[in-house]
Chain A
Amino acid sequence: MNPGSPPKKNNWSWRSQAFRGVVYQIIAIAAITGMVWFLAHNTLVNMRIRGIQSGFDFLAQSAGFDIGESLYPFDSEESYWRAFLIGITNTLRVAVIGIILATILGTLLGVGRFSRNALVRGLCLSYVELFRNIPVLLQLLLWYVVLTEVLPASSEAWQLGHFFLSKGGLNYPIPVWATGQLWAAFGIAGSFGLIWLYRRWARLQFEATGQPRSGFWLPLLILVACSLLGWALGGAPTELNYPVRGEFSIEDGGALTPEFLAVLLGLTLYTASFIAEVVRGGIASVARGQGEAASALGLNRNQEMRLVMLPQALRVIIPPLTNQYLNLTKNSSLAVAIGYPDVVSIANTALNQTGRAVECISIVMLVYLITSLGTSLLMNWYNSRAAIKER
């Protein structure tokens, strides 16, 4: 017998570990499927016996209720699924903006923990300890109370230029949509291409000559220049829709409601404290010698952090950071407590108008599942890029 090849395994024997493994898996899957089927079937039968109507057909019916704030106009005669879409966009709006702001704030706080200035270190530490140790629902309620109790009534709003701040929220001027804005958007899209080309050129130059080039200020300049150019090409529209004082409230212009502001503020400040810890942990995980070596090479504090410490820390930071993003998105469901029309709030209303409790709750679960899995996928992809390349 050739000693190089292992003896052929009998794949169909109970003694084969691989075979047993497959059998156990089949049994487990069958048990889970059976359980799910049993629960679903039982629920349906019970609901039919009790005369409770079920099914997703209600999604096509006219919703019949208004939604206080939405990214795009919604009419009460539109269908339930359109109402759900509004709720989903409201959830995503607060989640995406919250994630961006929390990341910026959290990174600053995390890096601040390594500052040479004791005051900065102390402030960052107190912030983290304060905000991460108070339940997020309380923080949301606190910000909402602050916004609705402390601010003046809409009729006596604080005014700064064309900005108004009151219990009605923040009102600000918005540009009147014209072709100029479209051109500016094209300009921004075009600038991304230019920035990519520039950065490629800068990297090649760096590798050839060793001269580092700014990877931030020039691209920013390109971005601004391109959008301005597009705007100018489109006729440079300067018309703005200004908010004005109405009889009881501020009218026209753009508006951020106190509900949105409270949810955004609460979630951002809460999650930033956790992100700060994640960032601090990531940086602390990079060996001291790395920083000392960077100093020895003559890099300043800023370069040391940006070029040596953070890229290595990222590998440790990204997986727990993903968790924080997921938490922020899921915590946004608490918004229902302060009247922000997120997907949970819309589902609550739909549930009560139609009585389809099981269906509405499944939709909400599905929405959060898809959002979270999407975030995970995106972050995993980024993680694989930042991870150490094993060679």
Chain B
Amino acid sequence: MQITNLKTLAVVAAALGTLAAAPAHAGKTLDNIKAKGQVTCGVNTGLAGFGAADSAGKWTGLDVDICRAIAASTLGDAEKVKYVPLNAQQRFTALQSGEIDILSRNTTFTLTRDASLGLNSTVTTYYDGQGFMVPVKSKIKSAKQLKGQTVCVQSGTTTEKNLTDYSKANKLNIKPVVYEQLEAAENAYFTGRCIAYTTDASGLASTRNKKASNPADHAILPELISKEPLGPMVRRGDDEWFAIVKWTIYGLIEAEEYGITQANVDSLKTTSVDPVVKRILGTSEDTGKLLGLSKDWMANAIKATGNYGEIFERNVGPKSPLGLPRGVNNQWNKGGLMYAYPVR
């Protein structure tokens, strides 16, 4: 009898032990990342400003910085990222199969992708819309003038369907020429095979800036024909990892709201009296523990990439080569849509 009781007690204690240990447990993906010492990140094959490698093989861009921030918050080092360049068709399969931990490749969040691919949309890092680019000398001023014309487009994107919807709604009978590779679609436009090239407006700006022999020869038409919320996706079934990605991005956005920058993050750690700032930097509450991360997870991320505003300005903002206006991607209290859930 005694022995049985002891045995029961031992079992219960063991169960409690695992329960107690549970809150700190943070999912297979994080364990895996910690074990291999790097975050595997799916990025664009070459879209300047969002994800592109320079001649030295160094990756830069808004999407790339998100990967770097997540590597910094999880591993404490923004350099510990393995970049996997993916084209539009490979990207979802690569994420589904576990080849990459996070897909940060200017990917539009849609219902179909969220509900049927076994993936989860995290947080929008760039609010975009689909537009058209035409040669200035064509004298086309509006997308409505594209009646019966050929338009170059990359396959495997939401773009193809948006183009069809727009063509149908406005009775334009646009003929799409669909290319597998981004570069092929861009080249076809620049050689004049198509009268217009269509993709997200940010992508148009990037293409015009990087690939056109003279960017001033090409005009982006005023019409935006769709909503394209772009951001990173993760696999379903690992809620802890989902939360880490989501809250790292929210942290970056909130850091901008509260004025934490790459430059002042270290000094704010000691000098700040603002409770919100202290929470984000982990100097008062330990928010990182709830996610299975270290106490200074957000401080690491901000130190590596700067806050969301800095990431935007550096890669795509008005002073960058792309020169995109902040527009709807500004903070919510400055007329934009960037509204971070509170890190608390």
Contact = CB atoms under 8 A, between A and B. Distances in A.
Contact of B184 (A49, A52, A338): A338
Given A66-B167, A353-B112, A345 B180 contact: yes
A66 B116 contact: no
B188 interface: yes
B113 A355 contact: yes
Contacts of B177: 68, 257, 259, 339
Contacts of B168: 76
B89 A249 contact: no
A248 B138 contact: yes
A349 B148 contact: no
B161 to A, nearest CB: 5
A257 B178 CA distance: 13
A349 B155 contact: yes
B150 interface: yes
Interface string A65-92: 1111100000010000000000000000
B193 interface: yes
A153 B92 CA distance: 37
A69 B163 CA distance: 16
B187 to A, nearest CB: 8
Contact of B175 (A68, A351, A353): A68
Nearest to A152: B192
A9 interface: no
Interface string A299-320: 0000000000000000000000
Given A66-B175, A339-B178, A348-B180, A148 B156 contact: no
A50 to B, nearest CB: 4
Given A65-B164, A349-B156, A349-B160, A354 B193 contact: no
B138 A65 contact: no
B140 to A, nearest CB: 8
Contacts of A349: 155-156, 160, 178
A148 B179 CA distance: 14
B191 to A, nearest CB: 4
A337 B96 CA distance: 25
Given A51-B118, A64-B161, A251 B148 contact: yes
Contacts of A257: 177
Contacts of A355: 92, 112-113, 116-117
B150 A68 contact: yes
A138 B180 CA distance: 16
Nearest to B140: A248
Contact of A49 (B89, B152, B193, B237): B237
A280 interface: no
Contacts of B178: 68, 339, 341, 345, 349
A338 B113 CA distance: 27
Contacts of B157: 352
B246 interface: no
B313 to A, nearest CB: 32
B112 A354 contact: yes
A47 interface: yes
Interface string B123-166: 00000000000000010100000001110100111001101110
B116 A76 contact: no
Contacts, number: 111
B235 interface: yes
Interface in A324-342: 336-339, 341
Contacts of A113: none
Interface residues of B, number: 45
B235 A50 contact: yes
A249 B88 contact: no
A258 interface: yes
B48 interface: no
A246 B148 contact: yes
Nearest to A67: B176
A337 B237 contact: no
A69 B138 CA distance: 24
Contacts of A341: 178
A139 to B, nearest CB: 16
A249 to B, nearest CB: 6
Contacts of A338: 179, 184
Nearest to A355: B117
A354 B116 CA distance: 8
Interface in A222-267: 246, 248-249, 251, 257-259
A155 B61 CA distance: 38
A50 B236 contact: yes
B195 interface: yes
A66 B195 contact: no
Contacts of A246: 148
B312 to A, nearest CB: 28
Interface of B: 88-89, 92-93, 96, 112-113, 115-118, 138, 140, 148-150, 152, 155-157, 160-161, 163-165, 167-168, 174-181, 184-185, 188, 191-193, 195, 235-237
Given A66-B167, A66-B174, 5 more contacts: A52-B118, A65-B161, A66-B163, A249-B148, A357-B93
Across the A-B interface, give the 10 residue pairs with the lowest CB-CB distance, nearest first.
A52-B118, A352-B156, A50-B118, A51-B118, A53-B116, A355-B117, A148-B191, A76-B164, A148-B193, A339-B179
10 contacts: A50-B236, A64-B164, A249-B150, A259-B177, A345-B155, A348-B156, A349-B160, A351-B89, A353-B160, A355-B113
